[in-house]
Structure 1
Amino acid sequence: MNKSKETTLHQRIVSDIEGHIVSGEWPPGHRIPFEVDLTKEYNCSRMTVNKALTQLAKAGLIERRKKSGSFVTQPQAQSAVLEIHDISAEVQSLNLQYSFAVSKHEQRRAKADDVRRLDVTPGSFIVDVACVHQAGGRPFCLEERLISLSTVPEAADANFSEMAPGAWLINQIPWSSAEHRIHAVSAGSDEAAALGIPRNTACLVVERRTWSNNGPVTHVRFTYPGDRHALVARFTPASQ
């Protein structure tokens, strides 16, 4: 087989497999046909197939497991560190179906930990709400949110059954400043149960506080299984 034909076949194999994955025809966990089967299907050398699969693995689309074959990887979401993003849009960017379910919703007075997290006065009224966001029917992210009723009194009547708390707030009230804190944790029993992962699984936590001109708006803690999320920051050199 001449070199140009081999290159064309390599590109075709990459394109075909990528198409199956991006379209959703081959979902996460799907086994890619074995090298010997792809060799017969494309009537090419094993080396050509191996090169194509290696390229797909480097791109993060598949995972190659020794003696087991190659499998479609779980898509990893990316979000900008300094942006306030909509999780539903984040999930849909992965070509996966989005849904969410509220697991906790109550109004109460702020306790000591709430005062620290939300920057409100002790005893002030807050909304404490939690929900699990899902991607393709699998838990994607646990959201735990506190909302200040002094700043956002409308939250007292919101039920969040049709719109997730974050999206509701973005539509409801403008924010003037925000603070992010990012760290890694091992999943405790509550996080493990909510996300359907083993306890002590490595997780990425993004905490955010926002303020409006009238005071603190919300504190939210997003917990992601560590293999399903990445943070991206774009920046330019400081002026000399």
Structure 2
Amino acid sequence: MSLTTNAADKPTLYKRIRADIETRILTGEWPPGHRIPFEHELVARYGCSRMTVNKALSELAQADLIERRRRAGSFVRRPQHQSAVLKIADIRAEITALGRAYGYELIHRKLRAATVADRDRLGVRKAGKVIAITCRHSADKVPFAIEDRLIDLSSVPDAATADFSREPPGSWLLHHVPWTEAEHTISAIVADERTADALAIAVGAPCLVIDRFTWRSARTITAVRLLYPGDSHRLVARFKGG
């Protein structure tokens, strides 16, 4: 059946459809793997032509927000991991996979208006709200990593009501908010008194530092710094020649 363009099919309608779907994805309302309504359902919902809906879905697919499967429909895309170093690991799953008992402690959580330093760290210009979180992960009751994280609430509003006293923020984000781009910076520092106390290591001991940023279609999701005791953690990546 062919649908003709009606009065509702204005040049910007497909952008509104795209924005509506994108917002549901970015807020985690539609998590990875969620099926997008079929084209005929979107046509009925927005009172437009199938061509308009198809254009919105095509742009979402080009932005890696959704994947379109022939005859099956469209689905929220799952993030693609590239290597051990580039992979965004779930620390809880990582520790469990080692056969060790996972422990988690929320040290600090604060919802606040973004400071200048927060905006610089997240790479955003507009003032908004963030959640600042500090937590500790342990393996067999031994400190494994300290996590210092900022979450941009304009991109992830549901994080404001998430219970991070029980679920680690990294695990929550991986299961609720799909990402399309990430950046890791790996460095090393020596532990100051505060870091040494948090990780139960000596002052001046080496620490591995991973600074990570994740985005969804150019919108910042989170910035996190992970500190690991340098003598008990390593990063491994395997590559194949092209």
After TM superposition, the score normalised by the length of structure 2 is 0.63
1:46-96 CA deviation, whole Å, 9 max, x = no partner?
A: xxxxxxxxxxxxxxxxxxxxxxxxxxxxxxxxx921000011121122221
Q: Is 1:94 matched up with 2:98?
A: yes
Q: Is 1:174 matched up with 2:184?
A: no
Helix, strand or coil for the counterpart of 2:195? helix
Helix, strand or coil for the counterpart of 2:238? coil
The alpha carbon displacement at 1:154 in A equals 0.5
Which has more radius of gyration? 1
- Over the residues paired in the alignment, what is the CA RMSD in angstroms? 1.5
Name the residue aligned to 2:21.
Answer: none
1:184-227 CA deviation, whole Å, 9 max, x = no partner?
A: 00112221121111111100001100001261000011100001
Helix, strand or coil for the counterpart of 2:175? helix
The alpha carbon displacement at 1:114 in A equals 1.7
Work out the CA distance in 1 between the residues paired with 2:125 and 2:196: 32
Name the residue aligned to 1:158.
Answer: 162
Work out the CA distance in 1 between the residues paired with 2:179 and 2:153: 15
Work out the CA distance in 2 between the residues paired with 1:159 and 1:195: 24
Work out the CA distance in 1 between the residues paired with 2:116 and 2:200: 30
Q: Is 1:110 matched up with 2:114?
A: yes
1:2-44 CA deviation, whole Å, 9 max, x = no partner?
A: xxxxxxxxxxxxxxxxxxxxxxxxxxxxxxxxxxxxxxxxxxx
Letter in 2 for 1:221: R
Q: Is 1:192 matched up with 2:217?
A: no
Show structure 1 runs of 5+ residues with no match. Answer: 1-78
Show structure 2 runs of 5+ residues with no match. Answer: 1-82
Letter in 1 for 2:237: A
Helix, strand or coil for the counterpart of 1:222? strand
**Matched pairs, number:** 160
Letter in 2 for 1:227: D
Work out the CA distance in 2 between the residues paired with 1:113 and 1:189: 23
Using the aligned pairs only, state the percent identity: 44
